Structure 1
């Protein structure tokens, strides 16, 4: 199966190359035929051969040009067609063939440059898992990944791609997550850890239990975003298209003036062979595809080239707090027990009770008890009061854990404990008596402040935080990070209104939760922290960060600025060179044949200049979170 798939891929690539380069090959073949005819003494046939072939290509291009005009799309085809026809009419048949070679070669170079620029995007698309190995009664059965159901047990063989999101059932293994996160160091996983689709298994076969179908899994969602991104067209590309009309008018006018002043129609042809379409047709698309590919290599999926342009010009960044500037999972911070209860006694009973709770804090309380070596007991009975707390009987004692008001109903002597900025308290009553409180906090991301400083250095001068948390907590976090504008206790609609009212635009909004989806869609650029699978936020955002690393926001802005700069540099540099050469040709200093050859070099230089947007390996490597750091962060979050 794998061999046949590889053979199919090779055949597809060969067919694609043949389709892409056959016009160039045919043009070169015509040129070689002319040389052979000249050596055989039939040189009189060469002008007819070159001219007929060139006019045939011009006619084909003219058909496409007329069709585009009927769609009200005006491009640079008229320059190419006019240059071919004019060189044939003035007897410069070798120059005519070179213009055809320039035209067909430019299209082939554009296709190659696009392929080179979007190779990271293509890599994500081509690696999409197709088959899964389903555990059945007597072994495993292959089935299409689209038929995997939640709860299915799947085998992942060594070096295979994980087909769907799941939970690791085997004791341990390592996964290569570089295709998703850009992190080259393999990540260790243990039984019970979440596993994302698209990562590559290590050297041991393992089993996972599917937690999502293929359509809902991380990698398939990434593939959908990438496919949408690859088809997009950036505003700067459309702007380049609009340059076509004035550039065409200028070239034709300059050629006409040169002809008029010199009285020689050859001057008209000499000017037009240097009127390059490449800076406009190729530079901007190649640069933007390269920028999107560079972003994908850094763990950022940008849904369109236009997003890169907006990122490059951004003036304001707005952050959600929980899960964005903080880790989003409150960590256990300590026990404040009330005599006669001891801290270990309270934590033992709370850890036992929290086994029956679905609250986000439950896992951290259980883990805190286990880390201290405290035993966890089964409850004789337990019931959870939604949004309030849990009541359970453990070792014959009634234990109540939850909000202050809920605990106070069971323990009249309960009193509030002092809460510091960024902290929260979980209150405890044992047998009707107040036993104390457990403290928790949601720690800031270690690189959050550095990210804000980097954004400011990139020109994003204004920063703001929007959160549903209390004012005191929000202001504490903002002061720690140097954010001056804060709006606390926000509902989703409030966030949308705040972003809409900002004057310094474009505005970047960074969030991670379902409640951030509306404001991500409303911002000029919505960036979703998608590492935790916030599907609604990812769908409404313009860019998705695939790793749990906020520094990638600054990386994305940097890539946007570089991409736009390189695109515009390539466009204007190419146009400037062409204009200078056209002016020189207008005075008769560049023959048509030499001009056509020079023009090939200008086209190649333009493409190479645009390819700079692809960049190197990883941007801002030092600020990226390594696999081991991510592991520690997750552990700290749990505990």
Structure 2
């Protein structure tokens, strides 16, 4: 029996005032049924006054902090209803007050563990090189500049350092967002958090763990989270004028009639329950609707920010693009066919674990090309692969590597952002395969839809080289481009945006700091890092950039419905107050009518769970986009560290 009761126990512990109000109501009901109406009145009245006293303490604390909410009117409503003998009405006010706070807390709560993925990935141990060439595992905090370390295949570089091995390829996507492996040679600087993609390498530490790049990302996220401004309750913005109007009507009614009961009767129908309950209900409805479309919004405050967003910034790799290399074009040499070159490249590359190799093999299979078996494959790390295919000697890889076996190699016409894999057969140049990170099919339509939804500016923030970034931006219609950025640069760029609120969309560990510091952080959580998802305010669970537009529209719809529900409640309450001021509305009738007003506000607020006319009329963006290939656009140059000009070569 403990199992079924556990949720109830947890709810009671989380919201003890709600539980106590319900319990007191049950006791009062039993007493009245037993004929002890006086006892019931005493129990309910004492409890209601205790709640009013408790609320008074919070009101005083808020006043000292310079904030003005609905607390004063709530306290006066409870006390007045008790004094005129409407103790059940007082209890209902207490229930709506505490229940509204509970709903608001629930809507604003962020049930997630901040930075868990970042902290889990931080290296704990380093392999220090010993005099005999072996290694000794030591805590990472013991590593000092000058120590030589082994980094095994697939491991993260534990601290910032200098490469001592001749050359190696690294996955730096978690730091810069670069989707393609990056080549480094002896003497190059390495950032902690880079993943060694080849054989074991030796690195000389140039910084301690605390001073290294990966730890800097962790600290940036912590700082950004701590600097976020708290969300101001929507109801508080109309609380002061509503309170003044209610008190004014009540005071005039008392003064004109000379009856103190008029004051209480007016305040009975002036309870702030519509203000308290409408906003959290509308926000919860909006959050529920967003969740049904694969969008997790973590707080009610985020929905309000989404409704007012003016600038949207995007990471490139994995957000505007798919984040994985694909074959963009095949450039055969004279007398060679494109399909033949691709099939030969795939035949050799099928034995390699390199990301570019996997993309070439996948492209050949997509085209249903026959991929023959290869004999005696010989992989040269970070350079290429040699093998024998149908009796022919085939070499595939970087331009220089292939030229050593096929002197006639010519530079391929690569577009910015493309990298070339060259193919040589029996000493002759056969052609090159151009690979690139493909743009999402829904990206251009998403950017256009954001502008139609009220966004004034779109911005690309990327660690890629500027020619690559601008080439992509020209295809998708983005307004501004910032390239060659590290995580701190992205944070600075978002902080400098003047058109606010600013929404940042990203998916990698390197995006976690900027997602946290943005007014609204949106993580593409379907295949993005957990760190990005936990630092963000919104997580798109489906691999669909168009959901960002839907999130903005849901935010606008939710806020509009919340204001409408508040307006409905305030308008009906004011009307009832005027009627009560003329003595035409007894307190007991007013209490029931006020509950009808509360119900109307709740039902109206629930409209946020349904799309409005604007959303129904809006075009539907593709949810399962078809591939959009990045076309070749002639020769180009790249300035990414460790990558040959033009992006050529096996990276």
Deviates more, 1:447-456 or 1:101-110: 101-110
Q: How does 1:604-615 map to 2 (within 5 A)?
A: 604-615=599-610
Question: Is 2:532 the partner of 1:537?
Answer: yes
Q: Is contact 1:424–1:441 with CA below 8 Å preserved after alignment? A: yes
Determine helix, strand or coil for the equivalent of 1:443: strand
Give the one of 361, 370, 386 matched to 1:392.
386
Per-residue Cα deviation, 1:576-630 (whole angstroms, up to 9, x for no partner) = 322232233223232222211111111111222222223369x87974656xx47
Number of the residue aligned with 1:511: 506
Number of the residue aligned with 1:224: none
Alpha-carbon separation, structure 2, partners of 1:381 and 1:59: 84
Number of the residue aligned with 1:564: 559
Alpha-carbon separation, structure 1, partners of 2:560 and 2:78: 33
Determine helix, strand or coil for the equivalent of 1:327: strand
Question: Is 2:52 the partner of 1:62?
Answer: yes
Number of the residue aligned with 1:235: 231
Per-residue Cα deviation, 1:151-200 (whole angstroms, up to 9, x for no partner) = xxxxxxxxxxxxxxxxxxxxxxxxxxxxxxxxxxxxxxxxxxxxxxxxxx
Q: How does 1:53-92 map to 2 (within 5 A)?
A: 53-69=43-59, 71-72=61-62, 76=70, 78-87=72-81, 89=83, 92=84
Alpha-carbon separation, structure 2, partners of 1:86 and 1:438: 81
Determine helix, strand or coil for the equivalent of 1:526: strand
Alpha-carbon separation, structure 2, partners of 1:113 and 1:471: 45
Alpha-carbon separation, structure 1, partners of 2:487 and 2:404: 32
Q: Is contact 1:512–1:537 with CA below 8 Å preserved after alignment? A: yes
Per-residue Cα deviation, 1:518-541 (whole angstroms, up to 9, x for no partner) = 333332222121211322332332
- Are residues 378 and 583 of structure 1, via their aligned partners in 2, closer, same or farther at CA, if it must alter by over 3 Å? farther
Q: Is contact 1:411–1:432 with CA below 8 Å preserved after alignment? A: yes
- Are residues 113 and 601 of structure 1, via their aligned partners in 2, closer, same or farther at CA, if it must alter by over 3 Å? farther
Q: Which has the higher contact order (CA 8 A, sep 6+)?
A: 2
Q: Which runs of 5+ in 1 are unaligned?
A: 38-44, 126-231
Alpha-carbon separation, structure 2, partners of 1:32 and 1:602: 27
RMSD of aligned alpha carbons: 4.1
Number of the residue aligned with 2:124: none
Question: Is 2:475 the partner of 1:480?
Answer: yes
Number of the residue aligned with 2:357: 362
Shift of residue 437, structure 1, vs aligned partner: 0.5
Length, aligned pairs only = 504
Q: How does 1:21-60 map to 2 (within 5 A)?
A: 23=21, 27=25, 30=28, 48-49=38-39, 51-60=41-50
Number of the residue aligned with 2:89: 98
Per-residue Cα deviation, 1:324-382 (whole angstroms, up to 9, x for no partner) = 22222232244333356655554344223323434322112112344201213243432
- Are residues 358 and 374 of structure 1, via their aligned partners in 2, closer, same or farther at CA, if it must alter by over 3 Å? closer
Question: Is 2:574 the partner of 1:579?
Answer: yes
Shift of residue 398, structure 1, vs aligned partner: 5.6
Alpha-carbon separation, structure 2, partners of 1:29 and 1:540: 45
Question: Is 2:519 the partner of 1:524?
Answer: yes
Number of the residue aligned with 2:284: 289
Number of the residue aligned with 2:253: 258
Q: How does 1:92-171 map to 2 (within 5 A)?
A: 92-93=84-85, 95-104=86-95
Alpha-carbon separation, structure 1, partners of 2:81 and 2:565: 28
Number of the residue aligned with 1:316: 311
Shift of residue 554, structure 1, vs aligned partner: 0.2
Give the one of 321, 324, 327 matched to 1:329.
324
Alpha-carbon separation, structure 2, partners of 1:573 and 1:499: 38
Determine helix, strand or coil for the equivalent of 1:361: helix
- Are residues 519 and 55 of structure 1, via their aligned partners in 2, closer, same or farther at CA, if it must alter by over 3 Å? closer
Alpha-carbon separation, structure 1, partners of 2:9 and 2:61: 33
Give the one of 356, 366, 378 matched to 1:381.
378
Give the one of 490, 495, 500 matched to 2:495.
500
Q: Is contact 1:335–1:438 with CA below 8 Å preserved after alignment? A: yes
Alpha-carbon separation, structure 2, partners of 1:517 and 1:110: 31
Alpha-carbon separation, structure 2, partners of 1:318 and 1:415: 39
Shift of residue 556, structure 1, vs aligned partner: 0.5
Q: Is contact 1:284–1:567 with CA below 8 Å preserved after alignment? A: yes
Number of the residue aligned with 1:305: 300
Alpha-carbon separation, structure 1, partners of 2:413 and 2:282: 56
Determine helix, strand or coil for the equivalent of 1:329: strand
- Are residues 524 and 376 of structure 1, via their aligned partners in 2, closer, same or farther at CA, if it must alter by over 3 Å? farther
Per-residue Cα deviation, 1:74-108 (whole angstroms, up to 9, x for no partner) = 7645545544544554xx43x34334345436656
Shift of residue 409, structure 1, vs aligned partner: 5.1
Q: How does 1:419-458 map to 2 (within 5 A)?
A: 419-420=414-415, 423-430=418-425, 432-458=427-453
Q: How does 1:192-231 map to 2 (within 5 A)?
A: none
Alpha-carbon separation, structure 2, partners of 1:393 and 1:25: 79
Number of the residue aligned with 1:589: 584
Shift of residue 553, structure 1, vs aligned partner: 0.5
Per-residue Cα deviation, 1:5-41 (whole angstroms, up to 9, x for no partner) = xx9347746996999678458647756865885xxxx
Number of the residue aligned with 1:276: 271
Q: Is contact 1:292–1:302 with CA below 8 Å preserved after alignment? A: yes
Q: Is contact 2:281–2:606 with CA below 8 Å preserved after alignment? A: yes
- Are residues 378 and 499 of structure 1, via their aligned partners in 2, closer, same or farther at CA, if it must alter by over 3 Å? farther
Q: Is contact 2:333–2:430 with CA below 8 Å preserved after alignment? A: yes
Alpha-carbon separation, structure 1, partners of 2:608 and 2:87: 33
- Are residues 580 and 409 of structure 1, via their aligned partners in 2, closer, same or farther at CA, if it must alter by over 3 Å? farther
Q: Is contact 1:300–1:556 with CA below 8 Å preserved after alignment? A: yes
Shift of residue 497, structure 1, vs aligned partner: 3.5
Alpha-carbon separation, structure 1, partners of 2:535 and 2:424: 44
- Are residues 577 and 240 of structure 1, via their aligned partners in 2, closer, same or farther at CA, if it must alter by over 3 Å? same
Shift of residue 252, structure 1, vs aligned partner: 3.6
Determine helix, strand or coil for the equivalent of 2:448: helix
Alpha-carbon separation, structure 2, partners of 1:377 and 1:260: 100
Alpha-carbon separation, structure 1, partners of 2:479 and 2:81: 65
Alpha-carbon separation, structure 2, partners of 1:258 and 1:538: 55
TM-score, scaled to structure 2:
0.67
Q: Is contact 2:100–2:280 with CA below 8 Å preserved after alignment? A: no
